[in-house]
Amino acid sequence: MALLLAVFASILAACNAKSLLSYVKSCAVKKLKLVCKPLPNVRVEMESETGTAAVGVCWGMSGDNLPPASKVTEMLRENGFTVVRLYAPDSAALAALGGTGIRVVVGAPNYDLPALAHGGTAAAAAWIRENIQAYPTVLFRFVVVGNEVAGADTQLLVPAMENVHAALAAAGLGHIKVTTSISQATIGVHIPPSAGEFTDEAKPFMSYVIPFLERTHAPLLANLYPYFIYSYNPGGMDISFALFTASGAVVQDGEYGYQNQFDATVDALYTAVAKLGGENVRVVVSETGWPTAGGVGASVENAMTFNQNLVRHVRNGTPRHPGKKTETYVFAMFNENLKEAGVEQNWGLFYPSTDRVYPISFHARI
């Protein structure tokens, strides 16, 4: 997510005349008064890739005052989460998640990429033994090799993914899909979604990532934040387009009308992926959310509005993919005090005390 802030300006500069800000700014959108209404109780669940849509949560650990793993696991269950994302294979978290029925998306962190890429299947097999096979009662869903990998490390990405994939297959764990999580900053054109494509910097490595995912039937994970698109230039977009509160289509893309930025970005990514041969690659939103403080448009009211509307919305698909439910992970479980001061510390659904930052219900069936 930090990478997104650093490079978003350069991406906008590289976009064509229909770039995100100019296109959205040209749309006549009436300013809407934001009213936060409680959603009906919502159960967050997942059955399969073609079953009920999932809204999971990202369990970050950049804090020195966070609850113990056993308590966090209890909170996940109490709040109806059936899937969780871990950025690294934390032993306490994995031990606590074992036997709970909660499915786990686990990261192979960026610092593991050199060993996984250069060490062949032997290094990958050792990683799998230590971090996957050592927890036989954990329901692993994906292994995410790298998060927002950039620069020279992108050359390590697919070799590492190939080795992890081979090691899982050799261990009889081929049902666990291997993927990576990319930054929103890799998308060079967001608007219109039909013109979506990766940046020139991202195309060289994504042209290898996408065929790997297509061949192995794995999804592409992406950290997508309408908040950052809005906050970079709040004068270029009505906030209602970011918060799912616009009263009608803001962006018209041929026959498809877009009422929110989330759908527009997801469909732009689908278009970009298809251009690299990934017509059958599913997009999973591995991070999204809204901060409660520390930045432009960051407030408890807006965070509650975005996340409640998100939970209700993702089961519907997008204009270009209606009925194709979007598996999505809310960032984040907690406010994390060891992150950079400001907006980065204020994404949590919960305080470290385990109190809710704002009311949001995940308990009854959609």
The answer to whether residues 348 and 338 touch, using CB atoms and an 8 Å cutoff, is no
Rounded Cα–Cα distance for residues 322 and 82 (Å): 24
Rounded Cα–Cα distance for residues 45 and 215 (Å): 27
Q: Which of 45, 162, 201, 287 is catalytic?
A: 287
Please spell the DSSP secondary structure of 337-360, one letter per residue: TTSPSSGGG---SB-TTS-BSS--
- All residues at 6 or more sequence positions from 19 whose CB lies less than 8 Å from its CB, including other chains: 12, 189, 190, 191
Shortest CA distance to 73 belongs to which of 92, 48, 45? 92
Cα 184 to Cα 3, 4, 71, 255, distances in angstroms: 9, 6, 32, 25
Three-class DSSP category at 336:
coil
Rounded Cα–Cα distance for residues 4 and 2 (Å): 5
The answer to whether residues 184 and 225 touch, using CB atoms and an 8 Å cutoff, is yes
Cα dihedral sign, 114-118-120-126: negative
Residue 208, token pair as written in the block = 């290898």
**In the annotation, is 201 catalytic?**
no
Give phi and psi for 363, each to the nearest 5: -105, -30
Cα 169 to Cα 164, 165, 172, 177, 366, distances in angstroms: 9, 6, 5, 10, 36
Shortest CA distance to 329 belongs to which of 32, 27, 54? 54
The continuous run of DSSP H or E covering 143 comes out as strand 139-147
Rounded Cα–Cα distance for residues 101 and 138 (Å): 8
**In the annotation, is 336 catalytic?**
no
Three-class DSSP category at 24:
helix
**Stated length of the chain:** 366
User: Which residues are catalytically annotated?
Assistant: 148, 287
